[in-house]
Amino acid sequence: MKFFVDTADIKDIKELNDLGLLDGVTTNPSLILKSGRNIIEVTKEICSIVEGPVSSEVTATEYEQIMKEAAVISKIADNICIKLPLTLDGLKACKALTSEGHKTNVTLCFSANQALLAAKAGATFISPFVGRLDDIAFDGMDLIREIRQIYDNYGFETEILAASIRTVNHVKEAALIGADVVTVPPATLKALVKHPLTDKGLEQFLADWSKTGQTIA
């Protein structure tokens, strides 16, 4: 499974990239707002830090304007992935951009039918929003299962990018189902390493080592 981090915070991206944990980055208008920076400027810096795809989202909703914004975004860096809304105009743009050789990420997916359409349009990634479905009393992981089965049934190459991840259990469940990618907040990605028995065991080992009076280096 690939790990993307869902942020536009340069400090967090650098930290996780240095750990060797990052396969890519996803951003959206809300994260750009939170960064307080110009979208082109901060996206270009992110692209210079990570080698994998960096999703940058258009804000237009009509096809012609989507394509104009995509033309600007695509020139930021070679590893840009153009993030598009899951609408008819967004799917039309997805088909056109994919045909031109651009990576695309179709976002705000909440049904298997929507995911099927995105795959038909040639999307590089489809982003089903797990946490937002959980918020309205649906099991977001059921959507991941349905998309996985449909894509496997027909050999679609579109990668399932599980988004709106809220917990470490979301990550585990997405991996068990077979999502290709998860995009997570920095804190959630770092929390994957945590387990109380690991901490307890390390504490005991260090205490015993101290008693030996030895050093290794």
Q: What is the pTM of this model?
A: 0.95
At 194 the pLDDT is 96
At 120 the pLDDT is 98
CA 198, CA 154: separation in Å to the nearest integer? Answer: 42
Give the residue among 64, 62, 52 at the shortest CA–CA distance from 125: 52
Looking at this protein, which amino acid is placed at residue 119?
A
Instruction: Summarize the confidence of residues 151-160 as an average pLDDT.
Output: 98
CA 53, CA 155: separation in Å to the nearest integer? Answer: 22
Instruction: Summarize the confidence of residues 64-68 as an average pLDDT.
Output: 98
At 3 the pLDDT is 98
**CB-count exposure of residue 180 (10 Å: 0-12, 13-18, 19+):** middle
Instruction: Summarize the confidence of residues 4-11 as an average pLDDT.
Output: 98
At 162 the pLDDT is 98
CA 47, CA 90: separation in Å to the nearest integer? Answer: 23
At 73 the pLDDT is 98
Tokens, residue 82? 């153009």
CA 110, CA 130: separation in Å to the nearest integer? Answer: 8
Residue found under tokens 């840009």: 80
CA 21, CA 182: separation in Å to the nearest integer? Answer: 12
pLDDT digits (tens, 9 = 90+) for 101-121: 999 999 999 999 999 999 999
Instruction: Summarize the confidence of residues 25-40 as an average pLDDT.
Output: 96
Instruction: Summarize the confidence of residues 3-31 as an average pLDDT.
Output: 97
Listed in sequence order, the DSSP H helices in 9-129 are 10-18, 29-35, 39-49, 63-74, 88-99, 112-120
At 43 the pLDDT is 98
Residue positions annotated with a catalytic role: 83
> 123 in helix, strand or coil?
coil
Classify the phi-psi angles of 101: left when phi > 0, otherwise alpha if psi is within -120 to 50, otherwise beta. Answer: left
At 98 the pLDDT is 98
Confidence of residue 155 (pLDDT cuts 50, 70, 90): very high
Rg (CA), the chain: 20
Confidence of residue 48 (pLDDT cuts 50, 70, 90): very high
Q: Which domains does the chain have, with CATH numbers?
A: 2-212 (3.20.20.70)
Mean pLDDT in the chain? 97
